[in-house]
């Protein structure tokens, strides 16, 4: 019972703290630097590169994360929240790069599977040819 | 009012109940910095196991750097100073740790994916190579099998042709046997015919021989008769020839007799010529005149010698058809060449006189010298040498 009370209190406290922090960030916000803008642009580029290798098909969760963080960055830019903008941009770029790497890996895995399949068929065909009278 | 209060109280109760149920779950599900750090570490270890140190060192290093920053931030967040800081600051620091750890985790995952991609690409390359090898092997095997099938077809064709050939050969052998049989039959018939023919020929030959025999006998008879007649003719001819030969022999004997008579007459006539010694030899009369009677010491004809030659000329004119040879001889004294020349000169002198002064035909008389080669007497004495120095006039008879 005591644990539940503490949890409720903590939840309420965090809720209000988050709310206050949001307004505090708005009040203390500074301008977006060119370097931060570049990070955002890099994130968009990484996302585009990931799309080019069909990352939405092969790594949908990471792509979703990247897109969400890119959107978060956009939102942070509107406020503006420079720290949040920077973090979200970096996270978006990192997730996009991860999605791209995973997509590339999956493409090769698919190719490998197809090749293995073809190889097995070839082996089977060879066996069949061997056994052919 | 009571109803509204009750309603508000109900709503409040529901909200509170929701908060009581959901808040602990939310707090428990919320990501803590420590969890984030553990997750990042775990991701880095996994990336290392995947070979990221070799294939994705840059991302792995980045992950480690982010992790180091996260750990530093975590240490700072749990320091004594942080304990006494405000909850707002503490929350911000925890979020910072979570952010850094998340970045480390993402980078580690990226490194792992890249490393796995390299490994997979290598496997893919090997597998594709294997596949290519197998496909090549399949092509080769198919080719071989196709060749084998073609060989089988060829073999089957060859077998069929061999069978066909065997059949043809059998038929040919049968035909050949038939032909051989026919040939033997034909040969046998031919032999029989030949025998018959030979028999006929022999019979015909016998008949012919018989006829030939008869003809030969007739011919022999004719020939015997002809031979008899020829023999008689030959005997007649032989008689005639013998008679002719006898006649010729008789004529020759008559001629010889005439010659002998002429020779005798000539010898007698010649013997009458003064200073001339005559003798008869085979069909010739040799008149010898010593040089001492004919020539002077200068070997010119002496007047006495001319007179002797005039007598000789008369004798020669008596027998105008007989050839005459004037032959000079010397003794053996002096050189042979000189004697030869002297003998020729003396013979020539005699001939010239007879031709020039006695009109003896130059075609009738010849002159020659023999030196001392044919002595008439010994040269050892003067008397003999005087006999050897001479001119002989040989008159040929019957030429």
pLDDT tens digit sequence for B61-80: 999 999 999 999 998 888 87
Q: How many CB atoms lie within 10 A of CB A21?
A: 15
Reply yes or no on whether the pLDDT at B282 is more than 50: yes
d(CA B396, CA B288): 14
d(CA B95, CA B70): 10
Claim to verify: residue A24 and residue A89 sit in the same structural domain: no
Q: What is the residue whose two structure tokens read 């003998």?
A: B343
Cα B122 to the center of its chain, rounded Å: 71
CATH architecture of the region B261-396: 2-Layer Sandwich (3.30)
d(CA A22, CA A13): 14
Q: What is the residue whose two structure tokens read 């005591």?
A: A2
d(CA B361, CA B355): 6
User: Could you tell me the pLDDT band of residue B336, with boundaries at 50, 70 and 90?
Assistant: very high
Claim to verify: residue A85 and residue A122 sit in the same structural domain: yes
Interface of A with B (CB under 8 A): 3-4, 7-8, 10-14, 17, 20-21, 24, 87, 90-91, 94-95, 97-98, 101-102, 104-105, 108-109, 111-112, 115-116, 118-119, 122-123, 125-126, 129-130, 132
Instruction: List the single residue in B27, B99, B113 with the smallest CB-CB distance to A7.
Output: B27
Residues in A touching B106 (Cβ below 8 Å) = 91, 94-95, 97-98
- Work out the mean pLDDT of chain B and round it to a whole number: 87
The whole-number pLDDT of residue A48 equals: 96
d(CA B34, CA B94): 9
Q: How many CB atoms lie within 10 A of CB B187?
A: 12
Q: Give the strand pairing for B324-329 and B365-369.
A: parallel
A5 vs B49, more confident: B49
Question: In sequence order, what are the residues at sequence separation of 6 or more whose Cβ sits closer than 8 angstroms to the Cβ of residue B220?
Answer: none
pLDDT mean over B21-39: 69
Handedness of CA A99, A102, A104, A106 (dihedral sign): negative
Provide the residue-wise pLDDT of chain A in tens; the chain has 133 residues.
555 676 666 666 666 655 554 544 444 445 889 999 999 999 999 999 999 999 999 999 999 999 999 999 999 999 888 989 999 999 999 999 999 999 999 999 999 999 999 999 998 988 888 887 7
Claim to verify: residue A39 and residue A26 sit in the same structural domain: no
Claim to verify: residue A42 and residue A13 sit in the same structural domain: no
Claim to verify: residue A52 and residue A23 sit in the same structural domain: no
Q: What is the nearest CA distance from B75 to chain A, expressed in angstroms?
A: 20
Claim to verify: residue A67 and residue A108 sit in the same structural domain: yes
pTM for the model:
0.48
End-to-end CA distance of chain B: 220
Scanning chain A, the segments in alpha helix (DSSP H) are 2-28, 34-52, 55-58, 60-78, 82-131
Claim to verify: residue A93 and residue A45 sit in the same structural domain: yes
- Contact between B67 and B45 under an 8 Å Cβ cutoff? The reply is no
Within chain B, strands assigned E span 277-281, 284-290, 324-329, 365-369, 390-396
pLDDT mean over B175-198: 85
Number of A:B CB contacts under 8 A? 93
Question: In sequence order, what are the residues at sequence separation of 6 or more whose Cβ sits closer than 8 angstroms to the Cβ of residue B97?
Answer: B33, B36, B37, B70, B73, B74, B77
Instruction: List the single residue in B26, B91, B137 with the smallest CB-CB distance to A126.
Output: B137
Claim to verify: residue A13 and residue A53 sit in the same structural domain: no
The whole-number pLDDT of residue B88 equals: 74
Q: What is the interface pTM, i.e. ipTM, of the complex?
A: 0.76
Claim to verify: residue A46 and residue A2 sit in the same structural domain: no
CB contact under 8 Å between A122 and B27, yes or no, is no
CB contact under 8 Å between B117 and A3, yes or no, is no
The whole-number pLDDT of residue B191 equals: 83
Question: In sequence order, what are the residues at sequence separation of 6 or more whose Cβ sits closer than 8 angstroms to the Cβ of residue A63?
Answer: A47, A50, A51, A55, A56, A95, A96, A99
Instruction: Say if residue A26 is exposed, middle or buried (CB neighbours under 10 Å; 0-12, 13-18, 19+).
Output: exposed
**DSSP per-residue string spanning B158-203:** HHHHHHHHHHHHHHHHHHHHHHHHHHHHHHHHHHHHHHHHHHHHHH
- Give me the number of domains chain A comprises: 2
Reply yes or no on whether the pLDDT at B347 is more than 80: yes
Per domain, the residue ranges of chain B are 23-137, 261-396
Instruction: List the single residue in A11, A91, A104 with the smallest CB-CB distance to B103.
Output: A91
Give the single-character DSSP code of A33: P
Reply yes or no on whether the pLDDT at B30 is more than 80: no
Instruction: List the single residue in B113, B131, B134 with the smallest CB-CB distance to A105.
Output: B113
Claim to verify: residue A55 and residue A3 sit in the same structural domain: no
B374 vs B4, more confident: B374
B330 vs A24, more confident: B330
Residues in A touching B116 (Cβ below 8 Å) = 105
Which tokens go with A3? 């644990």
Q: What is the nearest CA distance from A21 to chain B, expressed in angstroms?
A: 8
Give the CA dihedral B82, B83, B89, B90, nearest 10 degrees.
Answer: 100
Cα B31 to the center of its chain, rounded Å: 109
Claim to verify: residue A25 and residue A42 sit in the same structural domain: no
Q: What is the nearest CA distance from A98 to chain B, expressed in angstroms?
A: 5
B154 vs B208, more confident: B154
Q: What is the residue whose two structure tokens read 């008949």?
A: B207
Segment A52-55 long-range contacts (CB within 8 Å, at least 24 positions apart): A53/A100, A53/A103, A53/A104, A53/A107, A54/A103, A54/A107, A55/A96, A55/A99, A55/A100, A55/A102, A55/A103
CB contact under 8 Å between B23 and A125, yes or no, is no
Max CA distance (Å), chain B: 242
Range of the domain at A48: 33-131
Claim to verify: residue A44 and residue A96 sit in the same structural domain: yes
């Amino acid at each position: 019972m005591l644990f539940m009370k503490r949890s409720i209190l903590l939840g309420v406290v965090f809720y209000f703290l988050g709310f206050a922090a949001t307004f505090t960030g708005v009040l203390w916000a500074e301008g977006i630097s060119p370097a931060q803008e570049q990070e955002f642009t890099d994130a968009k580029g990484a996302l585009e590169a990931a799309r080019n290798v069909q990352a939405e098909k092969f790594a949908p969760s990471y792509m979703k994360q990247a897109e969400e963080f890119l959107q978060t960055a956009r939102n942070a830019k509107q406020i503006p929240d420079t720290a949040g903008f920077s973090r979200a941009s970096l996270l978006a770029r990192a997730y996009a790069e991860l999605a791209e790497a995973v997509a590339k890996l999956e493409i090769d895995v698919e190719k490998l599977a197809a090749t293995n399949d073809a190889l097995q068929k070839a082996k089977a065909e060879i066996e069949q040819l061997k056994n052919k009278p | 009012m009571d109803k509204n209060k009750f309603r508000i109280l109900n709503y409040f109760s529901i909200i509170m109940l929701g908060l009581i149920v959901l808040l602990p779950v939310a707090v428990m599900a919320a990501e803590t910095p420590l969890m984030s750090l553990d997750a990042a570490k775990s991701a880095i270890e996994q990336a290392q196991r995947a070979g990221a140190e070799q294939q994705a060192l840059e991302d792995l290093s980045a992950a480690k750097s982010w992790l180091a920053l996260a750990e530093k931030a975590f240490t700072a967040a749990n320091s004594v100073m942080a304990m006494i800081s405000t909850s707002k600051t503490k929350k911000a620091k925890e979020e910072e740790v979570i952010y850094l750890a998340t970045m480390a985790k993402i980078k580690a995952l990226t490194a792992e994916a890249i490393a796995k991609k390299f490994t997979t690409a290598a496997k893919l390359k090997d597998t594709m190579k294997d596949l290519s090898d197998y496909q090549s092997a399949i092509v080769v095997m198919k080719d071989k099998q196709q060749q084998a099938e073609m060989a089988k077809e060829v073999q089957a064709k060859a077998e069929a042709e061999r069978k066909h050939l065997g059949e043809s050969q059998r038929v040919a052998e049968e035909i050949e046997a038939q032909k051989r049989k026919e040939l033997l039959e034909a040969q046998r018939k031919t032999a029989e015919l030949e025998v018959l023919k030979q028999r006929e020929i022999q019979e015909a030959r016998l008949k012919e021989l018989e006829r030939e025999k008869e003809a030969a006998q007739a011919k022999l008879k004719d020939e015997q008769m002809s031979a008899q007649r020829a023999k008689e003719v030959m005997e007649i001819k032989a008689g005639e020839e013998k008679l002719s030969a006898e006649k010729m022999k008789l004529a020759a004997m008559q001629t010889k007799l005439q010659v002998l008579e002429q020779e005798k007459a000539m010898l007698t006539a010649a013997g009458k010529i003064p200073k001339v010694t005559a003798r008869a030899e085979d069909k010739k009369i040799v008149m010898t005149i010593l040089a001492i009677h004919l020539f002077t010491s200068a070997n010119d004809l002496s007047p006495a010698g001319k007179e002797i030659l005039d007598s000789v000329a008369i004798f020669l004119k008596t027998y105008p058809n007989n050839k005459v040879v004037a032959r000079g001889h010397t003794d053996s004294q002096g050189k042979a060449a000189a004697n030869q020349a002297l003998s020729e000169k003396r013979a020539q002198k005699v001939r010239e006189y007879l031709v020039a002064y006695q009109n003896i035909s130059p075609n009738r008389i010849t002159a020659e010298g023999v030196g001392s080669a044919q002595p008439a007497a010994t040269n050892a004495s003067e008397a003999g040498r005087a006999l050897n120095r001479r001119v002989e006039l040989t008159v040929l008879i019957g030429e």
